[in-house]
Structures are given as C-alpha cells and as structure tokens.
Structure 1
C-alpha cells in the first residue's frame, strides 16, 4: 500500500510539473473540460436557487396568512380538491344524463371560521392612462401593508397605498407606462385620479403589469362608471386571506369543501396527506400527477444521454492533447523506464496528467460558476421572471459534477497512457517510432456496432415508433463509426496517389500515425454528425411546415380588428393603418351586435345577446347532429361510414385558418372581396343588390337563402340546447349568392353589405379594417403601427400576412458555425500532435533545402486533411438519426390521421400527412468546403514557417 501510494504521489507531482511547464497545452485541455463544468454547475446553482420550497411558495402566495379561501363557482355544491388547492371537481356525480353541472357564485364569507382575521384580495382589469396612451392593466385590491399580507408583494420604492386615492404599481408597469412614483393616473371612462405612492414587485412573477389599491378603492367604482358609460363591466374575482390560531388541517379543509369553497392551506401544503386520504384522487380517473415518475425518468434519460455525448466529445477532443504531452515527454518517460520504472508507472504518470487537469478543471469550473451565478443573480432573476428563494448550493451535486470533470480527464488520458506504456525504453530515448501494427479487432467491433445501431434505429422508426430507440440506435451506430475511424483513415490514404506533393505528404502522415489522427477525426466526426442530424431534421420539418402552411390572408394583406367597447377605437385604428402602412385597398368591416351597440359578440353583459348563422336541417352533418340523450352522434356509425361522411360536403369543416370573425359573417362592401382575392363579378353584383355572399355551401337552404338567428336571451338558448329543443330567437332571412367552386376566403364565410344589414334592422358595430398593400410593409412601418395602436390601449387583433417564414435559418447557421469551430479546434490539436511527431521530418526537409514556407503548407494540409475526413464521415453518420426520427414521425402522424378519420373528425382534412426527408445541401456545402478550408488556412497562419536545425541527438 505504501509503495502504491508513493508511486502515485510521484506520478502526480511529475504530471503537475509537466502541466505547469507546458501551460498552453494544459490551459487548452483545462478550458475544454472546465467550460462544460462551468455551464452545468451554473445551471445547477440557478435551478436550485430558483426552485422554491413549499414554505417559500406559501409565503409568496399567502403572506403570513394560514389559508386562502376561493369560490369554486359551483353554486355552493360540495367539492373535492387536491391538497395544493389547484384542482377541484364537484363531489357528486354530475356526468350522468339529465344532471346539470353545478355553477354559480358562493358566499365564501360564510365558510370562514369565526374569530379569524380576514383580508380580501380582489383582482380585475382596467385601461389605465400612461405617458404613451392607455395600457390594459391588472388591478389588485389588497391591503398590502397589513402584516398578514407581508411577503406577497415586495416594496421597492415609496410605500403601499394608505388612502383611497393612492395606488402602488409594479416596477414592470412603471417601465411600460413611462410613469414613476409620484405620478398621477386615471382609467378610461373613470373620472377619479390616483397618485402612485410606491413601486413593488411580485417575487414569483416579475413581468406582471399590475397596480395595487386599497379594498373597495378602485374596482367597484370603476365597474359602475364603465357600465354607466355603456361599456362592458370588468370581471372581478375575490379570494380571502385567513389567519387563524392553529391553522387549517386537512380534515378542516374537507369540511370547508362541503360548502363549495377551495382552501389553500399552509399546513396541508407543508405536510400533505397520503394519496389514499385524498378523495379527489379516488374519484374516476383522477391521478396525482405530482407523483408521476414517467416524465422524470424520461428527463433523466435525456440528461444522461446529453451528458454522455458531451463527455465523449470532450474525451475525443482532449485525448490528442494528452497524446501530444506524452509524445513530447517520451524521453522523460523513457528515463523512468531506464531507471527501473514499470509500464504501470508510465501509465500512472500519463493518467495523472488527466487527473491533475480534471481536478483543476473541476475547481476552476465550479468556483467560476459560484462567482458568476452570484454576480449575475439579478440578471438571471429578471430573465427567469422570478426571484430566487435563496442562493442555494447543493454540495453533493457540485461534488458529483466535479467527479464528472475528473472522470472526463482520466478517460481522455487512458488511450495516450496505454500507448505511451507500450513503447520500449530504447524507442522512447532515441525518439524512434518502430513498427506499429494497427488493431484489427476494434474496426470489427465498430462495424458490428454500426450494424446493431442501424438495426435498432430502423426498428424504432419503422416498427415500434419509439424515438428513444431511434436516438439510442443512432448513438450506438455513431460510436461504431468512431471505433472504425482508424481503419477508415487508412482507406482515405489510398486517395493520396492523385494529390499534389504537400497534401499527399499530409495525408500519408495522417495515415501513418493513426493513433493521433483517429481521435481528432472522431472528434470532428461527432461534432459534424450532430450538426448534420439537427440540420437534416430541421430542414425536413421546415419543408413539411411550408407544405402545410395556410395563409391567414393573401400575401401582403392585413387586418386590424377590435371587438371590445362597441368598436369605440375602430376609427382611430383604421386611420393609423392608413397613415403608417402602404395600403392599396382598404375594406372597412363591421359586425352584428344583439341588444345594444356596446355588446360584445359573445353575449356577455346585461341586456346583451348574440347571433348565429342558421344551418338548415337538411344541410347538417350527421356526425354533428344533436341527440336526445346527449350522446355522440358519430357512435352509431361504423368506421367505414364515418370515413365516408368526412368527405361529405355537409361535414366539410372549415379548417380554421384565416382571420377570426364571429360566425364567419362580416358586414362590408365589395372592396373586401378584392382584398380577399375573390375574382367573381357575380359576387360583387350580388353584394350591391343586397344579397348575402356565401362561401359556405351548408349555410344556404334549398330556397337559396341564409338565415341569421338573433338570440336576445342567451340563458334561455342554453337551456333549450340542453333539452334538445328549438333555439328561441328571431331569424332574419337573406337571399344568398353561393360563390361557385371552393375559393379560399380566409376565415370569412359570408359577407353582407351595410345597406342590406340596415334594411333588415340589424344593429351593426364597427369591427375594423381588412386591407391589401402595394408592397410588403417594412419592419419600421410595422413598429410604427404597433406604437400607434399601443397609444390607443385597445385590444386590437392585428394580422399581417408575410407568407411562410423560415424560423430555423438562424439555428442552422449557428449550428454550422459551432461545428466549424469544433472542427477547427479538433483539427488544430491533431496538427499540434502531428508537428510534435513530424519534427524530425520537418528538420530533414529543411536540411535538404526545402523553403521555410513548407512548414506552413504542410501544417495547413495536415489540419485540412483531418477536418475533411471528419466532415465526410460525420456527414454520413449524421443522417441516420434524422431519417429515423422523420420515419417515426411519419408513422405517428399517419396513425393519428387514420384514427381521426375512423372517429369521424372532419377537421382531419382530405390530404394525408406528408413527412418529407430533406437533405440540407447548403449546410453540407458549408461543412464540406468552408470548414476544412478554414481549418487549413488557420493552421497555416498560426504555424511558424522557420525552424532552426538542431544537432543530432546522441544515442
């Protein structure tokens, strides 16, 4: 034991001195290992710091309260909830036919135990005035200064409101609004003025634009004011923070659930009951998703795969660097053998180099991660949108990451250590290489791994449809190619007979010294294979996306629609569009309102209703027809019948692309047809004659008319639907013109002129504008329009059709650049090793009169040859996972398509899914040409052309 300890201590001391002596090479390997360790450590520190404990979550949710009471909106019916208070369902069986789902408000205050301290917490929205215009903002009424609410909001400046005319605002709201503490603001349609008394933040959501007022100081009077002005009332939700001695146990929570109230209890969250004690989990198919391990196992497998590939890449890159060190220190290693050292001692010295570098890389990476994460904490928190729970350091996890760095360093030095120990003492002292035989077993193992991996990937993509098999098989095949690299390098050598002198010398040198060439080629291969795989997959997905893309409007056309506040801001929106964009044709569109002009299209609000376009009974799709018992009408058909009905014209569902228009009906004149690209003179004439222009055949009855039902009582209509009875409401009938063929109307199913709507007594409200442009608007013009609309504060649905956009182009470029950098780095290491090996050859060339530039040329070609071989092999290996994944996706999509047809889902479409496999020729060309050429030029530039002759070494 003592001998073993002393020999390894000596080996470590020699390795440490050698690493310090050759600082450049040591720094290169240390950086390659330390950078991933830095990234993984920083990620671990960030994730763990951002990961809130249950106690911290409760502090941010409840403050100092013991529970939060929330109305389940079940009309007081008993409910079942999960321990966290995030999910709930009625306790009774309401899914049976004839039973209606409970709904309606509950008086939560009756469920609060007597003697408790209670704070109300209300939320709503309002359009607040800002320095730029109006901003839709969340308004929260909570006595934030009360000790019970401490922790929910963190004060940043000033103070929380103390008077009814004061509010506090989040820092994000102040940034967006251009206001500051001390500024005043009002709300649209509200004559009260408020002073901003302070700024605060929500620790778990730093991006929220919110203002805080005292309870009753804003939302209630604001709702009355906007209702009086004829505008829709904002919805207000209220919960209650309750503090009581002893808190709320799980049994107490269940008692309160019987009154239709959801309870988020601090005690229950901190000490949750067993799943068997939660009635919600025992009901039907409810599952406690928090305890599911499938997702964690899949994530763990993915992380393990990424870590394994990263270690392989580092080992392949760092291995040649250790080989360089061993080759430069071969005389020193020979002296160790000459003085009685065994081969195990030589292996220990080289392995100690990996150990020293690994330990140093671990220390440097983890220390830098600690410093950077702590220093960048505010920026990380802002980027993540939440404050850390604390600066959390998990020593065991960091120790495991450090062990990973040490293991990587040792693995990188294994092959150089074995190679150095096999050299004879005489060869090490004289610098002679001797005769080396290539390993014939390793290529055979690699070839078997390629066949096995390809078979597994093929099975996963064609038979089992499991992407994990495709990824695993591809990884095995790639490792097989890596194992075959020495033999493949030998095959490349046969191409030297057709090359000029310098590249022929470089290629022969690479083939003759496969021990240093193969790892560098393998490193390039691994980097290129990953790049090609991702590029091919992304290019194939892009091709599929482009083929499936459905335009929202004709190219260059746009729409600006406003559905709120009775179209109050529509004239200003239309004017902004006309002023900022190169508009060619503008079509002003309106919508139908039921009740009064201020009603929205969905019938929400007092005295408001909605309308629907009537489908004649004979035109109804059998798959959609209502049944007396509420069952699915498609169930009475066979799979073949459902497949046939999906092709029926009555069941041809609109695929949903295009602008969103309520019921597909707009009130507009002929310019709209021109904007939509409808080239049908009959449609324009029909519109001018007062007819309704229809693009949907099922809407038109046998008399050539389309009916519009005006529903003034939405609740009565809902009850009639539940009982499968006729829907009450006046029906307006319009003679219709059915546009022949199936033109793409971009979401518009029918058009009615304003004159015809007025003549029929319909209430119309401005909706917005649909327009075409004479050229594609520039980025500056679009930004200007966004700024103009932002000043209005309206919720504008702005659409501008730009056609299909390649969203992966930048990703592919980044991948190509990354692969190029890795390739150049790996080839550069191989070149350094080649120069160490070929020093005698270069001196011989200088002795026989070769010009000084030969050294540069030869180094450049040596680097280029390694890069070229790695690029060729990596390109071939990278296609396997991409093809396998695409075949898997194709089978999955085809199976889903067939299942949709069998179930009678008419929105499946008539066209089967198309999953192409595309070769990214541009990326391949950049890799094949630019990367080797760039590596060769860089190596030539960084290599010294001069080399002094040295005396012959004494033997």
Structure 2
C-alpha cells in the first residue's frame, strides 16, 4: 500500500505539472459522464410519480372525488389518477353535495377543469381551465400565487406565466370561448408539475358550464379521518373515483409495482449498447493521451528503474495516472452533470411544457456512470502501463525511442472470431428489429478493434510502393502499433457508427418518400369543414377568405347521406382478392375529392381536355391505375367518424386514367354527378389553394383561427421532401469530425514527438522543410484513412442490416393475419460516405501538416 500511495502522489504531481494533457484526458473521460448524468437527472426529475402530483391535484385536502356522467362502478389504481368505468349501466344524474355527504363525511369544495379557446391578442389559443376557489385553505399548494391575487368573482381569473408570454397582463382582459366572453386577469399562478402549461384559474362555472364528465369534475374533501382503501372501494361501486392522500402516501410495494411501468428490455439493451460504445470510444481516445504522458515521463521512469524500481512498480505509476485523472474526471463530470440536468430540466420544463417535479438524482445509475468513468481511465492506462513496465532504461536514457515488438500484432484470432460472430449475429438480427442489429454491430466493432493492430502491421507491406514521406509515416506507425491502433480504432468506431446510422436514416427517408400518398400535388393546402351545415360552412369559408385574401381558392365537395351527415369516399378494397400485398396502400384510407373541372385543373396543374371531358361525362379521373379495375372504380362511402365500420353505400363509377401534376399523386377525382347518381347528395365543404404559409407558426395560427370559427375545421397540407435527412447527416458528420480529428491529432502528436530525431536527421542531410511537413501530414492521413476504411466496411454491413427493420413491411389482412414480408428499401448516401471516409482523413492530414513545426532541433545522438 505504501508503494501504491507513492504512485498516487507521483501521478497527482505529474498531472498538476502537465495541466494541458491532464485537462485533455479529463475532458475525454468526463464529458460522457457529464452528458449521461445530466440525462439521467433530467429524466428522473421530469418523471412525476403520484406522490409528487398530490399538491397540484389535492392541495391540502384529504381526498379528491372524480365524478362521471354515468354512475356505473369504476376501477382505479391505488392513486385514483388512472381509472375507467366497469361494464354496466348507471344513471346520468348529477351529484349533489347533500348526496355525497351521505357517502363520505367531510367538507366539500367543487372543482372542474377543461380546455377552451382563449383570445389574448388577435389569435385564438387552446388553453387549460381550472375552476376551484383557490382562496380556500383546502387548495393550498395547488396553484401557488406568483403575483396579484386569486379570482374572487365569476368574471375574474388568474393566469399562468405561459399566458403572460402570449400577451396577458394583470389588470387586462382576455376573451374566452368563441363568444369572446371577457375575463379580467387578476393574478399570476404556477402549476407545480406543469410550469409551462398555458392555464387560467377561476371560480367554479365562472368560465365553464357545469360539467359532470369523467375525470374533469368533482370535489375536494377534507375528512375527519383518513380515506382508506375500503372506503375507496365503496365509493368506486357507486361510480366515484377517489384520490386519497393517505393511500397514495402509504402505497404498498405491490401497488407501487403495479403502477410502475416495467422497464422496456429494448430500451435497456439500447442504453447498454450506447454505454459500451461510449466507454470504448473514451478508452480509445484517452489511450493516446496517456501514451503521450508516458512518452514525456519515460526518462523519469527510466531513472526510477535504474534506482531499483521494478517493472510492476513502473506500471503501477502509470495506472495511478488513470485512477487519478479518471477519478477526478468522473467526480467532476457527475457533479456538473447533476447540476446541468437539474438546471436544464427546470428551464426546458417551462419553455417546452414538460412535466416537472422536485429535483431527483437517481443515485445508483449516476454512481454506476461515475464508476464507468473511473474504469475508462484505468482501462485507457493499461496499455501504456504495460509499455512502461517493458521499457529498457538504457535505451530510454540514451535518447532512443522504443518500438513495439514486431512479432506482437494484437489478437488476430480473437478479432477474426468476433468479426465472424458479429456477421452471423447480423444475419440473424435482420428479422428481429433494430436493437438486435445494434447488438450484432457491437460484436462487429469489438472484433474490428481487436483486429486493428494486425491491420496496422499488415499495411506496412504496402509502404515500399509509396512515396518517401508516406513510407516513413507508415513504417513508423507500424513500429508503434499500440499507439496507432488505438487512434485508428477510435476513428473506426466513430466512422462505423456514422456510416451505419447514415445508411439506415437514408433508407428510412427514401422509404417514407416513396410511400407518400396524396391526391393533391406538393404545396397544396386543403381546408375542409366535415359535417358542417350550410351556415357553418359559409362562416368558415368567409373566414378562410379573410385570412388568405391573396390566395386563389378552388372549391371541393363532400358526399352526404339523407340526414345531411358527411361521408368519406374511399376506394373499396377486399383483402380476399390480394395475392402478395395484403395491406391496402395509404391512398385507400384517404377521402377522395369530389369536384368539377376547376378542381381537376388545380390537381393536374394544367388543362387536360380529355380528362376534363371524361369528368364532365360523369367519369372519375384516376391518377394511378391501381384504383381502376375493368374501367371502374368501386367506392366505399361511410361516415366521417373514424369509428364507423360499416359503409353507408358501396357503388361503382366509370373511370379513366390520367396523370397528376406529380408522379407521386395517387387516388382519383370523383365527379359530383356520379355521387348523385348513386343516391347521395353533395355540397361544398372544402377549398384548395397553394397558399401554404411559409412557416409552421403561421400555419398553426391559421388552424387555431379557423377552429375558433368552427371547431371542426380541418387543415391538410401536402408538403415536399423536408431537410430532415440533410440535417441528420450533417450532425453525424460533425460528430465524426470531432472524434476523427481528436483521435488522429493525439496519435499524430505522439508520433511527431517520437519521430523528432528521425525528422531532424532528415533535415540535417538536406531534406526540405516540406518533406518534414508531409511526413507528419501523412501520419495523420494514414491513421484517419485506415480507421475510416475499416469503419466503412463494418458500417456498410450494419447499415444495410439496419435498413431491413427500418424499411421492411409485413403485410397482413385487415383481420391481422400476417403475410410474407414486403420489399426492403436501401438508399446509400454516397456524398455523405465520401465526406466521412475520404474528406475527414484529408482534412486531418491538411490540418496536421499546417501546424507542424519545420525547424529542426539538433540533439546529441548516443550509439
């Protein structure tokens, strides 16, 4: 122990002397610890359990009764925050306080909540409403008062801070519901569990009408005795759900176990894979940094060996470096991660309307992550420790650089075995999902890491055919395989992850684009009022014209039954007639448009005389031949309600096939005369335009404004390909750039230090300064290119495998009978792969060459 303590003191003093290298190692180890700890802390704080919800739901009350329109028995969990009615009938009578007093003793306070349209400036927003007398002591803690006062009269309300962001002010007036009823803002409140929720709080029935519907109304109760489980069951039988403070705070282990969502094995596996990759990448990147430290301390260690220190003691000193730096980085990263997670969650909870609870640190996972940081530091120091134990003091004191033994080239047998195992596991994982593919890719990564020293040695055979600067670099890299292999493996792992995800994302994006089913061309905005009467549609149509004054509006129609209910027209589909593709394509779920020649011209973006003549003759115009059979389209007319299972009418319409404005257009345009001939009525209930607002906020605002006029206004947009794929690939490229440059420069800096005598000799015999620069640039390019090429090979295999679960479809009948798997879409992002595999190594070589010192430093050589 005394020797170990001495090693720790030496390591601590050396870390303080070499502040730059120590900071680099601590950043490499501490950043993953900080990031994972912040995520764990933020997730734990965001996850609010029933006990933490009690103040916002009950205040200081003993229980919360939740009523329902039917008095059928209910089933609930222990907290009463999740419940549902049992099968059975009940009366629809509203509960009264007198009636409740016969069931449970105590003082009652009415509450109810819902959502309404609120107009603060000139925009309607959907806003939550809580109605309860917050002045009552029973509500203490439900909505703490931030400023002003609570509502004291029906025309008053206190608002949340999110409402202030929308323009509400104390003393000002906001308008609620579509009748623009004025409500005076008298205070500012805060929801303890939803600080970003737009909400207003008033007295019961001050904004809302009396409601008796499910979990949106009830009573807070202050009882002389705690409400126990037996009393909850008794109240459940009469149709009341109950949240009891006593039961929630004293939940049994079995109740908590039933309430907790079981951990998803897929999520745990994914987390484990990410942790292993993070630790491995940290070790591979920190390894060269420890090797740099060993290079600078080699003479100090040689002096210790000359004075009697054993090789084991020298290795202990280097391992102590890993323990000191890894431990400090892990502790600092964990502490900063906890603070960053808590602070970030508090800020985002308000801006993104997340759930929010007390700051919670999941100590077992956090301590486990910190332990992984320490293990990463120790693991990264193992190879330099072995090198320190094996170094020759006489050679080091003479100023000669040591090299790795030529006969040792890693563990190629183990590497080949892991690679073969990974390939086999990848083949099996094709039909088992994304997590299985990721698990098999991890085996492949480990195998390639084990093979890297052998690949470095094998690449030396090519050196004789290369130019002088490259030849010198490759041979030096082969002589120092441990240093080179560590950096190249880090580049390989980063490249493999980037290539795998890049191919998977590109394939998924290509599949999504190929499946885009739309009757209208890209850039279309369709506004419809399904189920409106003529007056309601007239109001909505006028509002559309007011909001989009410069847009050319093309009318569309809707089929209606005899009672005036809107019907959706869809191509009829019979799964019994399918052979291979047994799931209907997307266009079979959309309602086909009904219109005249004006709508046809809009959908085709041109005038087609033949299609227009066919439409005028009562024929449908189909934009793809799949919906037409024997010159007819069979249509299924059913209620717009998504729950409607039986069609109101099935009929056939003669059809012709034409082309839309874009190849991706599907479906058909149905003439109104054909719908009337089938015994149905039609009426204008939609308009089409190309005037899509430029930004999402404007489109969302338009939708809120239209729904304020009519609650059943619908906006459908046909958007073109988005830039999601490009953004994802750029993020992957940026992440790969950081790892590639970091690992390459760490190894190149060590190589330049080890090659300094050779480079000085090269300059002394007349070699130009650019040769010295080219040697260092070639060293960086060789390390980055070797790792990128190996990563490309492994990433291509894993990326193609990942494309299977991301893009393959299993077809089945509507009854759920699964058929044969469908085709797989594979898309290779060639430009992205070229940037990762060729562009990043070239950039690393250029930067290394630019920062290289070309002035020789002559030193005494000892033979």
Match of 2:59 among 39, 60, 63: 63
| Separation in structure 2 between the aligned mates of residue 785 and residue 388 of structure 1, nearest angstrom | 29
Q: Does 1:769 align with 2:769?
A: no
Match of 1:900 among 810, 813, 817: 813
Structure 2 equivalent of residue 156 of structure 1: 146
User: How many angstroms does 1:942 deviate by?
Assistant: 2.2
Match of 1:49 among 18, 37, 45: 45
Rate the CA distance shift 1:428–1:51 in 2: closer, same or farther, 3 A.
same
CA contact (8 A) 2:65 2:218 kept: yes
Match of 1:205 among 194, 201, 207: 194
CA contact (8 A) 2:270 2:435 kept: no
CA contact (8 A) 2:11 2:321 kept: yes
Structure 1 equivalent of residue 576 of structure 2: 644
Alignment deviations for residues 134-182 of structure 1 (CA, whole Å, 9 cap, x no partner)? 3343333221222222222232221111112211222223323x23111
Pairing of 1:406-425 with structure 2 (within 5 A): 406-425=374-393
Q: Does 1:543 align with 2:510?
A: yes
CA contact (8 A) 2:114 2:129 kept: yes
Structure 2 equivalent of residue 524 of structure 1: 491
CA contact (8 A) 2:520 2:603 kept: yes
Alignment deviations for residues 812-860 of structure 1 (CA, whole Å, 9 cap, x no partner)? 1110121122101101011111022112112212322333444332222
**How many residues are paired up?**
844
Structure 2 equivalent of residue 330 of structure 1: 298
| Separation in structure 2 between the aligned mates of residue 442 and residue 613 of structure 1, nearest angstrom | 66
Structure 1 equivalent of residue 453 of structure 2: 486
User: How many angstroms does 1:466 deviate by?
Assistant: 5.4
Match of 2:565 among 602, 610, 621: 610
| Separation in structure 1 between the aligned mates of residue 62 and residue 345 of structure 2, nearest angstrom | 31
Rate the CA distance shift 1:889–1:839 in 2: closer, same or farther, 3 A.
same
Structure 2 equivalent of residue 28 of structure 1: 24
Structure 1 equivalent of residue 830 of structure 2: 921
Match of 1:740 among 637, 656, 663: 656
| Separation in structure 1 between the aligned mates of residue 688 and residue 714 of structure 2, nearest angstrom | 11
CA contact (8 A) 1:16 1:353 kept: yes
Rate the CA distance shift 1:255–1:692 in 2: closer, same or farther, 3 A.
farther
Secondary structure of the residue aligned to 2:724 is coil
User: How many angstroms does 1:78 deviate by?
Assistant: 2.5
Secondary structure of the residue aligned to 1:64 is coil
Q: Does 1:243 align with 2:222?
A: yes
When structure 1 is superposed on structure 2, of 78-87 and 23-32 the one drifting more is 78-87
Match of 1:139 among 101, 116, 129: 129
When structure 1 is superposed on structure 2, of 143-152 and 43-52 the one drifting more is 43-52
- Structure 2 residue runs of 5 or longer lacking an equivalent are none
Alignment deviations for residues 78-119 of structure 1 (CA, whole Å, 9 cap, x no partner)? 333332335545545xxxxxxxx6477354444553532222
| Separation in structure 1 between the aligned mates of residue 194 and residue 854 of structure 2, nearest angstrom | 60
Structure 2 equivalent of residue 85 of structure 1: 80
Pairing of 1:762-841 with structure 2 (within 5 A): 764=683, 767-772=685-690, 779=694, 793-794=708-709, 796-841=713-758
Secondary structure of the residue aligned to 2:430 is helix
Rate the CA distance shift 1:521–1:756 in 2: closer, same or farther, 3 A.
closer
Q: Does 1:861 align with 2:861?
A: no
| Separation in structure 2 between the aligned mates of residue 704 and residue 810 of structure 1, nearest angstrom | 42
Secondary structure of the residue aligned to 1:327 is helix
| Separation in structure 2 between the aligned mates of residue 220 and residue 418 of structure 1, nearest angstrom | 78
CA contact (8 A) 2:11 2:320 kept: yes
Match of 1:391 among 359, 362, 369: 359
User: How many angstroms does 1:648 deviate by?
Assistant: 13
Rate the CA distance shift 1:851–1:704 in 2: closer, same or farther, 3 A.
closer
User: How many angstroms does 1:336 deviate by?
Assistant: 1.1
Q: Does 1:883 align with 2:800?
A: yes
Match of 2:414 among 431, 445, 467: 445
- Structure 1 residue runs of 5 or longer lacking an equivalent are 93-100, 224-232, 279-287, 596-607, 624-642
Structure 2 equivalent of residue 533 of structure 1: 500
Structure 1 equivalent of residue 467 of structure 2: 500
Rate the CA distance shift 1:798–1:438 in 2: closer, same or farther, 3 A.
farther
| Separation in structure 2 between the aligned mates of residue 652 and residue 511 of structure 1, nearest angstrom | 57
| Separation in structure 2 between the aligned mates of residue 14 and residue 951 of structure 1, nearest angstrom | 29
Alignment deviations for residues 590-614 of structure 1 (CA, whole Å, 9 cap, x no partner)? 557789xxxxxxxxxxxx9635589
Secondary structure of the residue aligned to 2:113 is strand
User: How many angstroms does 1:335 deviate by?
Assistant: 1.2
Rate the CA distance shift 1:694–1:72 in 2: closer, same or farther, 3 A.
farther
User: How many angstroms does 1:347 deviate by?
Assistant: 0.4
Rate the CA distance shift 1:394–1:810 in 2: closer, same or farther, 3 A.
closer
Match of 1:940 among 828, 849, 853: 849
| Separation in structure 2 between the aligned mates of residue 763 and residue 424 of structure 1, nearest angstrom | 95
Q: Does 1:559 align with 2:516?
A: no
| Separation in structure 1 between the aligned mates of residue 397 and residue 148 of structure 2, nearest angstrom | 78
Secondary structure of the residue aligned to 2:813 is helix
Rate the CA distance shift 1:211–1:762 in 2: closer, same or farther, 3 A.
farther
Cα RMSD after superposing both structures: 4.3
Alignment deviations for residues 579-633 of structure 1 (CA, whole Å, 9 cap, x no partner)? 355x4xx3223557789xxxxxxxxxxxx96355899xxx998x7xxxxxxxxxx
Secondary structure of the residue aligned to 1:190 is coil
Rate the CA distance shift 1:71–1:755 in 2: closer, same or farther, 3 A.
same
TM norm structure 1: 0.79
Structure 2 equivalent of residue 575 of structure 1: 545
CA contact (8 A) 1:570 1:767 kept: no
Alignment deviations for residues 213-261 of structure 1 (CA, whole Å, 9 cap, x no partner)? 211222239x9xxxxxxxxx99994232222222322211111111122
Rate the CA distance shift 1:928–1:882 in 2: closer, same or farther, 3 A.
closer
| Separation in structure 2 between the aligned mates of residue 183 and residue 106 of structure 1, nearest angstrom | 39
| Separation in structure 1 between the aligned mates of residue 576 and residue 435 of structure 2, nearest angstrom | 36
When structure 1 is superposed on structure 2, of 297-306 and 484-493 the one drifting more is 297-306
Rate the CA distance shift 1:171–1:451 in 2: closer, same or farther, 3 A.
same
| Separation in structure 2 between the aligned mates of residue 28 and residue 648 of structure 1, nearest angstrom | 58
Match of 2:423 among 444, 454, 475: 454
Secondary structure of the residue aligned to 1:203 is coil
Secondary structure of the residue aligned to 1:808 is helix
| Separation in structure 1 between the aligned mates of residue 90 and residue 558 of structure 2, nearest angstrom | 31
Secondary structure of the residue aligned to 2:685 is strand
Rate the CA distance shift 1:789–1:400 in 2: closer, same or farther, 3 A.
closer
CA contact (8 A) 1:551 1:803 kept: no
Q: Does 1:405 align with 2:394?
A: no
CA contact (8 A) 2:672 2:682 kept: no
CA contact (8 A) 1:855 1:946 kept: no
Rate the CA distance shift 1:460–1:31 in 2: closer, same or farther, 3 A.
same
When structure 1 is superposed on structure 2, of 396-405 and 446-455 the one drifting more is 396-405
| Separation in structure 2 between the aligned mates of residue 920 and residue 705 of structure 1, nearest angstrom | 41
| Separation in structure 1 between the aligned mates of residue 446 and residue 15 of structure 2, nearest angstrom | 30
Alignment deviations for residues 866-885 of structure 1 (CA, whole Å, 9 cap, x no partner)? 11111111111112222333
CA contact (8 A) 2:423 2:440 kept: yes
Secondary structure of the residue aligned to 2:295 is helix
